[in-house]
Structure formats: C-alpha cells, structure tokens
Amino acid sequence: MPEFRESLAHYLCLLWFWERWRDEIEFILLGLWADSTSKEAGGTLKGFVQRLDNTCKFVRGSKGGQTALYPPTLRKTSKCPTPDDITTLQLRGVGWNPRASFLDFGSLRLKIAYLTHTSIQFYTRKQWETSVMPISKDQRGKVGLALEFESYFIAFITNDLVFQPTWQEKWNPDPKLWLAPIPPPIFEDYLVFLAGVANWITRRSTGNRFGLACEAMRSAQDEWPGLGVYTVLEVFFDAGVSPFLMEFEVFKCPSRTARICESFFAYAYRSKQHLPSLLKSAMVDGVLAPTQDQRLKYMYWLHVYGKDKTSVPCRMAELVDAHNATLTELEGQSDLWYRDRVPLYDAFEPLYLRDAFENKAVTLGHLIFGAEPWKTLTGRKIIHSDPLSQMFKRQGLLSSTTHLQLACYNVLYPSQDRVFRSTYAYQARKQIWSITRSFPTNSRNSVAEKQLPKDFEEFVGPERTQRLFKSIVTSNGGSVAIGPLEYCGNGHVVTLPSGKKHLSIARATDPTLSTHHIVNQAKREFRLKNNLDAPGKGKKAMTERQRLAQQVEVDKALAAYQRVLSLADVSSSSLQCLAYQTAHGIFSAADKY
C-alpha cells in the first residue's frame, strides 16, 4: 500500500492538472495505452507502449483480486458485439482517499490503487510521441495505464506493472458523493477516524495481541489508511511510543493510543499544508522531475526513518537518554524484568503534536496526560464525548497509567533549543527505525509472560549506512528511497553543453538528447556504479580493464539510443497506426484463452 504522503501527493498533482486545464480542454477520453507484461507481449512492437482496443482482456493488480485495464462495460463480447466507444467518456472531476485516486468519467469512475510503486505523470502529446512511444519499457518507467486526451496524456507509471485499476459504474449522481473518499481523510473528519479506531480496538480486544503494534496497524488499512512501513514509524516517533511494544501494550493504554491518534492527525495535517510547495518546486513543464538536491531535502521532513541522527527538543533528549539508560541497566541483570512493573517512561514530546492540539475542535489531551494534568497545562474543559474516550470508559481503562514522567511537563511546549540524538535501525518484517533501542531479551510484560520477546537484528556499520535515506538517494545505482519524490517514472533535468537546462522524460535513451550527452551519461554512470566517483570524494583513475568495460557500456547506450532514434523518425501517425494494429492482434489472440 502507498504511504500517506505519497498517496496525497499523487492526488495533489492530479488536482493541479485538472484545475489548470479543465476550462481549456474538453477532456474527452480518446484512448487508453499500456505496456504489456512479458507474457502478454507480442507483435512487431514488443516492449513498446500500445493502444488498447475494446477486445482487451488484460488485468492488473494483486493476485486473487486482479481487475481489467479496459472498462468491462465497453468491451466487445459475444453478448455485447457493439459496445459504446471509449470516446463516450469525459473526465469531469477527480478525488482521492489515502489508498487510491478517483477519476470521474460520468457513467464510469476509474479508481487507481497505487499499491507498491506507482506514480502519476502528465505528458504533452509531443512528449508522449517523442519520448515515450519510441522507447522500450525496459529503458523508462513502465506505463501501467495512460489516458489519452486531445492535448495531454495522464499516465500512471509503475516500476513493475503492479497497480490496480478498477472501472466502477456510477452509483450516485452527485459528483461530490461520487468522488468522496470513504472513510474521509483524518484531517477532514477526525471523529469518524476515532470511531473506526475504537471499533478496531474493540474487535481485536478478545485476542492475545502479542504481535508488534506497528505491524498490526500496517495491516489495518481501513482504520489506519496510509500508515505504511515508514509512516507508521514517523507517527510512533512523534507520539513518543516505542515501535517495539506489543499491540496490547499500546491499545490497552489510553495515553499511548491517544498519542498515536493525535500524532497521525498532526502528520497528515502537516502533509496537507506543505506538500504543495514541495511538489511545485520539483515540477518542470508539468512533469515531476526532482533534482538530487530536492530529493535530499525530503530528509528534513523525516524525524526518524532513514536518519543517522535527529534533532529533538532538549526535554525529549533527556527522556530518550533516561529511557535507553534504564534499558541498558535492566539488560545487565540476570533475572527477567517486566516492562509494566518498572519505571520505564515513554520519550514523548508534546511539541510534535502541536498541529493536532491547535487545528481541530476535538483533542485527546485528557487521555494523554490524564484529566487533571491536562487541565492544569492548558486550562481546557475536559469532555469525554469522543469515540475513543467512550470506548476506554466502557472498558474501565480511563485511569490507566500514562507511562509518562508527568513531572517533566510543567509547560506543554518547551523552548526551541534542540540537540541531536542518534537513531537505531533494526530488521523485523520490515525495517524499524527508532530513537530508543529495542527491548533486551530478558524483558517481558507480565500479561504476556509466556510470549518470548523478539530479538531484532540491529543494523550497524556499512549495513546501517547503506540504508540511510541520504545514502540511497546518492547511491550509484539510481535507487529510490522513500517519500513523494522517489519514483522510477520521474523526469530528469539535464544540463546541455550550452549550459541550458533540458527536461528528459526517459533518462538513458531520450531521443530529445544529443549523442554527446548519451555518451557522457553512460561514462558517468559507469564510474558511479564502480565507485570511481563518490559524493564528497576525489575521482579515481580507471584501469585499462575498466576503460574497456566502460566503452562496452557506452556502445550499448549508443546502440539503444540509435534504435530509439530510428523509431522516433517514423511519423507519429505511422507509429500510432502500427500500435493500433499490433495491439489488436495481441488482444484478439488473448481472446482464444
């Protein structure tokens, strides 16, 4: 599933495009295009993007739940030999939820679930015909599905063609309801979110809940939409909750539960407020094309994931130091010790929840600190009418321990003075990054005494360094890290020999680039791949063997470039005609199976 910020960023880009052009373009859907899988590929345009026709049976999505690329109601079948043409569809609006984007086509709605690695791009017809159509899918981001309009293409670009398109017949004539996300984003209706969380906790309360809380939340996308591998750890950091706690240790505690809910709201609110400027700075001629420096700046949006060290308020630093020191001391004793019986306080800083406390009517401070401490800190009247408070009241847990060292919070927000603290990185089902270390193996919770603690593998040295956000972005292999600017389908801004900046859609073989640039780029990538050029270090001389190997890579790049040029020389009308014919042949063959 996509992370919250990534999904929101896709929608913001889609909304920007729609609002920019809706009054100037008719937005009648002229066609659908897609790259085929290796099993589907065939014909003379094997490996190239192809136009779909109404005999297409291709499906995409996760196993067991795959859906059709082409609208099923517009497919030609024995029961419907003359379906409506695709041009009867007209884009009328866009919407989203943290798991998908929606496009309203009148009688149909297209839902795009991004799954693991899918992004959205907008191409002019010229860009499409010169920098997408002539280039093999192996040399650019793969086109999962592209929507063709008169002057523009909306393309969903994937790394591996794993995404989920769903064509849905209209169930409500009201476009606001038709595009309304269900459930609404947390920053639009906090009470609905809290009700969902309360119901989820109640349903699961009959089980033992001995798994990690963060993993349980990642698996519950209906209640915690957008909490993916890194988002959930950012939320735990801001909430001052250890990601190594079991599910019941978090969700039987009103304070920890409330802190996580408020943390998620604050995270979502900040994302909504600041993502537009981040995306705008990386857009070039309507294409998302971030530079390496722009990608690196996203590191400052992160509080813990992929960071070597992080800046925290002095009050939090003291709590972190005390927490880790207590763990070290308890690890040294030979006997088992119980987390619910020792003074092991959470490293929580309310400053990270400020956006949640100050930008909505309902706050959960009374659950976080306790009713009286919250009233003393803020002077606010205590109201227990929210769904979460009501649930804990029914369960008789309102007076449970907060796991906070309340004496530290004489003011709600501390001074702006900050210090750095190192992070810890571990391997569980996924990577876990935290500012507090994992619990030692002689640690238990008395409720789950028979449950053995997980002994997580800590990443240290080079293994840790290569997993840092900065290392991935500056890596030699062109890897993508995390965040809304990290996609294989991004454009690239290159500097021409004249010094001018040029937008390249397909980095390695874009026919709009010169031979000189292709050669230099191949040489540079060889040097980076072989650690001959490293950021911040001097250049290394090549051996004769390396020079020969570099020339082989240059020759490969030039050969691929020449193949692209030969296709690009074909008139766009001829190329489109060939695409039509090939696609029709493939899809007719597919009908036999």
Residue 178 and residue 195 in one domain: no
Residue 461 and residue 503 in one domain: no
Predicted confidence (pLDDT) per residue in 194-211, tens digit = 999 999 999 999 988 999
CA 457 centroid distance within chain:
25
Residue 492 and residue 589 in one domain: yes
For residue 384, being part of any structural domain is answered with yes
Task: Using alpha carbons only, give the angle 26, 27, 28 rounded to the nearest 5 degrees.
Answer: 95
* Angstrom distance (rounded) from CA 388 to CA 230: 25
For residue 556, being part of any structural domain is answered with yes
Residue 490 and residue 446 in one domain: no
Looking at residue 537, what is its pLDDT?
Answer: 62
For residue 478, being part of any structural domain is answered with no
* Angstrom distance (rounded) from CA 362 to CA 353: 13
Residues of the chain short of pLDDT 50, as ranges, are 44, 571-572, 574, 578, 580-593
Structure tokens at 270: 């900040």
CB 98 within 8 A of CB 1: no
Query: What is the tally of helices (H) and strands (E) in the chain?
Result: 19, 22
Residue 105 and residue 217 in one domain: no
DSSP state of 104: E
Please tell me the chain's helix, strand, coil percentages from 3-state DSSP, rounded to the nearest 5. 40, 15, 45
* Angstrom distance (rounded) from CA 255 to CA 242: 13
* Angstrom distance (rounded) from CA 97 to CA 6: 11
For residue 213, being part of any structural domain is answered with yes
Looking at residue 477, what is its pLDDT?
Answer: 59
DSSP state of 73: G
Looking at residue 534, what is its pLDDT?
Answer: 64
Residue 408 and residue 511 in one domain: no
Residue 359 and residue 492 in one domain: no
Domain closes at, from 413, 435, 465: 465
Domain closes at, from 414, 432, 465: 465
pTM: 0.89
Q: Phi, psi (5° rounding) for residue 215?
A: -75, -35
Looking at residue 498, what is its pLDDT?
Answer: 74
CB 353 within 8 A of CB 238: yes
* Angstrom distance (rounded) from CA 208 to CA 206: 7
CB 95 within 8 A of CB 181: yes
Looking at residue 150, what is its pLDDT?
Answer: 94
Residue 220 and residue 316 in one domain: yes
For residue 471, being part of any structural domain is answered with no
Residue 11 and residue 150 in one domain: yes
DSSP state of 249: H
Residue 347 and residue 209 in one domain: yes
Q: What is the largest CA-CA distance in the chain?
A: 78
For residue 131, give the CATH number of its domain. Answer: 3.20.190.10
Predicted confidence (pLDDT) per residue in 139-162, tens digit = 788 999 999 999 999 999 998 888
254 vs 198, 219, 260, 340, CA distance in Å? 11, 21, 10, 15
Looking at residue 455, what is its pLDDT?
Answer: 79
* Angstrom distance (rounded) from CA 356 to CA 270: 10
Residue 210 and residue 114 in one domain: no
Domain that holds residue 460: 190-465
Residue 194 and residue 255 in one domain: yes
Residue written as token pair 């001389």: 541
Domain closes at, from 465, 493, 521: 465
Domain total of the chain: 2
